[in-house]
Amino acid sequence: MKIVAKILAMAALVALAACDNIGAEYPSDTIRFAVGGEIDINSRAIIDQESVNNTETPVRVTAKSGNTNIYTAEQIFRDANTSEWLPNPNRRKTWDKGVAYEFYATSFSPSTAKSNGGLNMVSDTRFTITEPKEYDASGDSWVDYLLSHKFVQTVPEGMQPPIVKLDMEHAVSLVEINIAKHISFEHIDVYLKEISLEGFYRSADMECLTHVQYGRGESLGWKYTNVGTMDAVYQIVGDEPTAVSGRKPLEVRGSEGGIRMRFLATPQQLGSSCVLKIGVWVNEKYNEEAEDKFVLNEYSFNLYQFATSEGVAIWKPAHHILYTLEVDTGIRLEGSISPWVDVDYIEGTVLPHK
């Protein structure tokens, strides 16, 4: 799976449509950047590859040379020829030898969310995210925010300066609900009536407390405080039995016939109000020749009872939270959490969107 992801990442890099060639000749000691990191290109990061070089999804760098700020939220652009990232020509800086530099990058998308998602920037490392009130299968309403690990470097006299590698990491959580049939129901028709999730926060004040030096493999330190109300209701609605003609029923897990609800969420520890409801129509006819007999089965799960991390039901920053459900004579739910990463660092790669 990692090999496939890497191939896809490299293909995305090669196939990226070039914007303007902003990489005019520049001295070898120019501060240059590579933006990438361990972001899973199969996930919905909402960073559109076609818009990284404009104001829709800007990548911005903040940098310090000794005690002097040399960049403050400076937008960088990807060079079409070299895949390196640079500020506009009149904003480029060169390395001072023997001086300690610190760099980090931020990005968020979209800059103006549709629907009722939104992002309020207090500073480069402090912000408030508000995710949409209703589920949006298109993804246009979700707000994703990324922050790089800090890159620290001192270039000795006589040494060639490095490319500043900025590994990006998500501040939000990727939550996925996946429902399919158990193998024992392989030959029984099951149709989705509804997936409904409610009782969780959709807004949070976020602050990055800790930057870590590139190469240590540590996670960024995030402090988040949930704000607002738990008024979101995310739903996927299916059909009544009389309308299932032409629709594809649920299939056994591992096939493409499962139903998936996938969204971005503010990090939070779930409370007893977070309830997942599932309704499915099961065809209980007693043989192939009998008439259809669709029976509605409805289930309700308090997600705070399904631990995803260290015995706690929590949606962690930069993690993929997965709830899997399998339908047979009943329905089973399992929760799991894993880092929202999959791809090793590829120099010059752009931020992916799905």
CB atoms within 10 A of CB 186: 9
- Whether the CB-CB separation of 343 and 6 falls below 8 Å is answered with yes
pTM to 2 decimal places: 0.75
Q: In the predicted model, what is the mean pLDDT of residues 164-184?
A: 85
% pLDDT > 90, the chain: 23
Q: Which neighbouring-strand residues pair with 275?
A: 198, 302
How confident is the model at residue 255, as a pLDDT? Answer: 53
C-alpha pair distances (Å), 244 with each of 12, 285, 294 = 38, 15, 10
Rounded distance, CA 160 to CA 154, Å? 11
Span 226-246, pLDDT tens digits: 999 899 999 998 877 777 766
**Which of the four pLDDT bands, split at 50, 70 and 90, describes residue 302?**
very high
Which of 234, 219, 203, 226 shows the shortest CA–CA distance to 303?
A: 234
**Which of the four pLDDT bands, split at 50, 70 and 90, describes residue 62?**
confident
Which of 170, 165, 279, 140 shows the shortest CA–CA distance to 215?
A: 165
Q: Which residue has the higher pLDDT, 174 or 109?
A: 174
Question: In order of start, what are the domains of the chain with their CATH numbers?
Answer: 2-110+139-171 (no CATH), 174-339 (2.60.40)
